Structure 1
Amino acid sequence: MSTNLHAHLAEASGTFALNGDLPVHRLGYGTMQLTGPGVWGDPKDPDAAVRVLRRAVELGVNFIDTADSYGPIVAEQLVRKALHPYPDDLVIATKGGFARGGPDDWRPLGRPEYLRQQAMLSLRHLGVDQIDLYQLHRIDPQVPLADQLGELVLLQQEGKIRHIGLSQVTVEQLRQAGDIATIVSVQNLYNLVNRTDEDVLDYAERENIAFIPWFPIATGELAKPGGRLDAIATAHDASPAQLALAWLLRRSPVMLPIPGTSSVAHVEENIAAARITLTDKEFDALSAAG
């Protein structure tokens, strides 16, 4: 795919405005896969990671999701290296609330002083004066929710955070959080074959809260030759991964998939899913199969 071919392709995914005032194209990009094994350390090829980020933006992506714990620090610094000074319409979301003990080791840590430290470091690593969307990566069960979100509200009042989001929460936790802060997004595990958090998505849709599904491309058995996904993919001259993303975009107007990859070819393939329009019959067939 040439540099200019399908420029601004992500626009075809439609637009969602976070809190009604921060518009993004609904198909974004997630940075977790830009780090080393176990989401720890530097990538094998940092220059390739920079190329992936730049290509995503060339293709119209203006919503980048990252976290201080990816690396740690590595992903945020790659975003800055690749994209700073940032385009005016680029929205960068980051997260805090995990301590890392090594590869594949994630420990919720929501003490207010830690969250403040991590937010301040994210500002520095990203090279911004204000974080567009700061998400509590996990609710720490050892710390009152009011203390965790209360610190983010203070950071918001100080102008260091524009909007606040949550990650991997229940409907009840979302309701409780809404009494403490204005929550504009929720990032939960959700895809074609894992819809355990359907109730959270439905709540987000009713409240006009962005729903950011992590691990959005999961097709498993459905993608095998001769399967239902395979047949529909053939009809659209598309890959099963593209169909999984098209299904998510069709599933709800508040859905903001952020497929991640360390490959330029795959980022091009993923964003091309924005142009796929499923028929009602195809959408229902995929829903039933998943």
Structure 2
Amino acid sequence: MQILDGKQTSSTIQDEIAAEVAAIRSAGGKIPHLAAILVGNNPASEAYVRNKVKDCERVGFGSSLFRFDETISEEALLDKIREVNENAEIDGLIVQLPLPAHISAEKVTETLAPEKDVDGFHPVNVGRMAKNLPAYLPATPYGILELLKRYPIETSGKHCVVLGRSHIVGSPMSILMARNDNPGNCTVTLCHSRTKDLKAQTLQADILIAALGIPEFVKADMVKEGAVVIDVGITRVEDASKKSGFALRGDVAYDEVAPRCSWITPVPGGVGPMTRAALLLNTLDAAKRSFYP
């Protein structure tokens, strides 16, 4: 069993981006600028956005953070997004989820200009991804692809089983692993809450990607010997032995599953850092106008 170290790989990617930004600055080019919108004071969202700002500082990006009270109206938030769409200084925009119940995440996503949608959620980017056209990929699937590519893990001709069909991870992951690319060219099975005999499906996986949000759902008897296991989940669970009172657990029961794997991602330190690195890569592409004029 070997570790797919997302923390180290993310650090390498950030170093590469920082070097490219330094070259852009020396040539007098436009420095990439990422903006984030944060509504309310969800602690997890606060931490995530704070880390994104730190990442921007490390690689030399400009960054802006727009904070709003959770009582902001939907139309006022959409107006702010439209304002950022028109701001030529800002290359990429993310709107941190979750949003208050009175604000439609779908309306927010569709209002954001596709060329600034560095989270890769706009229908235009999703459609371009599905057609294997250049696009901003959703950050977590993009990060997983980079991790598989850089180790490298052979994917062509393999059977990939994806657990979870969310629009953020599971569904786009299944599309990306099936398309004619590297990583890719897998035979993909997408499993969800209505899948019958789930264990029979997971035992066929050469590559198992767990994105359910259910801590330690995947047990050793669900994993084929020698499989590559990617654990997307990260959930806080109570743990009296920790000073914080909680521990972070993935969707995979790591201690019992790891001995069966050829490769596995840890939690934390696996997919999470790669998601942040992928967001930076998308922002760099946005600044370079890689996909949109």
TM-score higher than 0.5 here? no
| Higher RCO, Cα 8 Å, sep 6+ | 2
Pick the TM interval, shorter chain: 0.3 to 0.5
TM-score of the two chains, using structure 2 as the length reference: 0.33
